Structure 1
Amino acid sequence: MEPYATADQVWQGAMIFARIGAVLLMLPGVGESYVPPRIRLSLALVVSLALWPVVSGALPALPETLGGMAGWIIREVIVGLAIGALLRSFLTVLATAGEVVALQTTLAFAQTANPLQAQPGSTISAFLMLLGTTLIFATNTHHLFIAGLVGSYELIAPAKPLVTGDFATMAIRTLGDAFMLGIQLSAPVLVFALIFNLASGLVGRVMPAFQVYFAAAPLSIILGLSVFALGLGVMGTVFIDRYRALANVFAGGAGG
């Protein structure tokens, strides 16, 4: 191997590939189950080669023992999975919003295969998650992922201790913010459903013989989806702005 690459260069490439491969395994759009493994592996190799001249200075020297090498590789894989999990967990914003909208428009029973999850979900939730993934690539937010990979070597340098406490705190805060934002994005439909259900209840009390359910169910679907469609542009804009802010947390290390 020496005529092509030194042992130190091979070690540095393995360290970079361990972190970047783990991140790409979890990233939205790239790390989905429907993406062929060869495509993901090729992308991880290409990105690793591209970033090697940039981040090689932050990598530790080649350990003398096999146990030391395995420990460093496992550490980098854990760091990569943690970063990727944080970026993917924010997609629960759209899943939460979609489930709330589906419940309020009586469409929650309409389950469909969600290509971004390992289980079926409501049709609106699957639509929103696909929309969010499309917006990530349409707005070039995925470029921040590359900057974030470089910045992660400054924020979480391999030579420094692993900050598990900070990871746990950020993960809890990210999931909490994602749930709250999901409820906020679905707020227009929630307000509509509250007003509509109150009006339907009053009609049922005033006119007991009137079949409120048969008249209210179609109106609830039509009007609820109309409110959802009117707010879809704002929903996508708010989501992508907040997602870019999360990605900038790691990308800021590259700029700073």
Structure 2
Amino acid sequence: MIPSDWNLLIIMLILLRTGSFVATAPPFSNRGIPLSLKVLLSVVLSLSIYFYAFSGTADPKLSDSLYLLYAIREIVMGLAMGFVVQLVFASVQIAGQLVDFQIGFSMSAVYNPMSGMNQAIMGRLYAMTALVLIFITNTHHLLLATFYKSFEIIPLGKQFPLSSGLNWIIETFSYFFAVAFQLAIPIVLVLIMTDLVMGLVSRTIPSLNVLMLGMPLKTLTGLFFSAMALPILIRNLIKVVGDMMPYLEQWISLAS
């Protein structure tokens, strides 16, 4: 069946929401994925959503004179959902950067073409671990299913009250910033204790060159306890990745 001109407009609206979501939501927004593949994924998802949810049903009640407004709404909706997913990865990256700063790895931060930002060792480790866990736990399937569900809850062209979700946005920001500190606090506390011990040693033995010993000791201590705490980190990251779906569903419900 060849879609009519009006159905082509509907497909374009679906594509705008899908494309903006794919462009901003990890893991689909990863800069290591070629742009052509992202476009292909957006088109395939849009056609799948159209033929599964819209084909053979009554056309949505859309006014052709307001098509530009509908297009802007769909772009904003896709970007908003992708932003919620970005918050999860931002909290994980912040946790890694806190550990890097305390160990001293932040001085060796280099540009990461995959994320488009400067990252040190632990920041990359945390981010890549979270990315791998998304695929291991099949969260990417749940992510796509929730995105499809958004077309049922928020039909094409429907106006959504963003102002009503202001309190939710503040609470979500607060939660994921707290998550970042919870992920990093065990290693950070150990390294702070290391600094305190080195300070006491310098007071006890003034002739000891603490500056020369402090950095290697902090690096070894940070790496050792990071390796020891890796199972706990993975368990906490699985919980963080799992929390992503309820928050995304809450956002869709608020926008409906």
Q: For the superposition of Structure 1 and Structure 2, which TM-score range results when normalised by the shorter chain?
A: 0.7 to 0.9
CA contact under 8 A between 1:54 and 1:150: conserved in structure 2?
Answer: no
CA contact under 8 A between 1:151 and 1:251: conserved in structure 2?
Answer: no
CA contact under 8 A between 1:18 and 1:80: conserved in structure 2?
Answer: yes
Question: What do residues 160-217 of structure 1 show as CA deviations (whole Å, max 9, x unaligned)?
Answer: 4312124443333332222211111111112211221111111111111111222232
Cα offset, 1:149, TM superposition: 1.0
Instruction: Identify if the C-alpha distance between structure 1 residues 250 and 191 changes in structure 2 by more than 3 Å, giving closer, same or farther.
Output: closer
The residue number in structure 2 matching 1:184 is 182
The residue number in structure 2 matching 1:115 is 113
Give yes or no for the alignment of 1:85 onto 2:103.
no
Instruction: Identify if the C-alpha distance between structure 1 residues 18 and 144 changes in structure 2 by more than 3 Å, giving closer, same or farther.
Output: same
DSSP 3-state at the match of 1:113 = strand
Give yes or no for the alignment of 1:141 onto 2:171.
no
Question: What do residues 136-160 of structure 1 show as CA deviations (whole Å, max 9, x unaligned)?
Answer: 1222110111111122224433454
CA contact under 8 A between 2:100 and 2:120: conserved in structure 1?
Answer: yes
Cα offset, 1:226, TM superposition: 1.1
DSSP 3-state at the match of 2:106 = coil
The residue number in structure 1 matching 2:94 is 96
Structure 1: gaps (5+ residues):
none
Cα offset, 1:40, TM superposition: 0.6
Instruction: Identify if the C-alpha distance between structure 1 residues 59 and 213 changes in structure 2 by more than 3 Å, giving closer, same or farther.
Output: farther
The residue number in structure 2 matching 1:132 is 130
DSSP 3-state at the match of 2:105 = coil
What is the aligned residue count?
250
CA contact under 8 A between 1:59 and 1:159: conserved in structure 2?
Answer: no
DSSP 3-state at the match of 2:192 = helix
Instruction: Identify if the C-alpha distance between structure 1 residues 142 and 175 changes in structure 2 by more than 3 Å, giving closer, same or farther.
Output: same
The residue number in structure 2 matching 1:202 is 200
CA contact under 8 A between 1:150 and 1:251: conserved in structure 2?
Answer: no
DSSP 3-state at the match of 2:112 = coil
Q: What amino acid sits opposite 2:8 in the alignment?
A: V
CA contact under 8 A between 1:86 and 1:171: conserved in structure 2?
Answer: no
DSSP 3-state at the match of 2:172 = helix
Distance across 1 between alignment mates of 2:39 and 2:48: 14
Question: What do residues 106-139 of structure 1 show as CA deviations (whole Å, max 9, x unaligned)?
Answer: 2220112223432212221122112211211222
CA contact under 8 A between 2:110 and 2:120: conserved in structure 1?
Answer: yes
Give yes or no for the alignment of 1:212 onto 2:210.
yes
Distance across 2 between alignment mates of 1:166 and 1:246: 20
Instruction: Identify if the C-alpha distance between structure 1 residues 54 and 238 changes in structure 2 by more than 3 Å, giving closer, same or farther.
Output: farther
The residue number in structure 2 matching 1:63 is 63
DSSP 3-state at the match of 1:35 = coil
Cα offset, 1:59, TM superposition: 6.8
Q: What amino acid sits opposite 1:246 in the alignment?
A: M
Distance across 2 between alignment mates of 1:112 and 1:104: 17
Give yes or no for the alignment of 1:235 onto 2:233.
yes
CA contact under 8 A between 2:191 and 2:221: conserved in structure 1?
Answer: no
Distance across 1 between alignment mates of 2:67 and 2:6: 12
Distance across 1 between alignment mates of 2:239 and 2:59: 33
Mapping of residues 24-63 of structure 1, within 5 Å: 24-56=22-54, 60-63=60-63
TM-score, normalised with respect to structure 1: 0.88
| Aligned partner (choices 169, 172, 175) of residue 173 of structure 2 | 175
Q: What amino acid sits opposite 2:213 in the alignment?
A: A
CA contact under 8 A between 2:84 and 2:247: conserved in structure 1?
Answer: no
Distance across 1 between alignment mates of 2:150 and 2:248: 6
Select between 26-35 and 96-105 the one with higher mean Cα deviation.
26-35
Question: What do residues 58-112 of structure 1 show as CA deviations (whole Å, max 9, x unaligned)?
Answer: 97334232xx111111111110011101111221112111111112212220112
Select between 102-111 and 228-237 the one with higher mean Cα deviation.
228-237
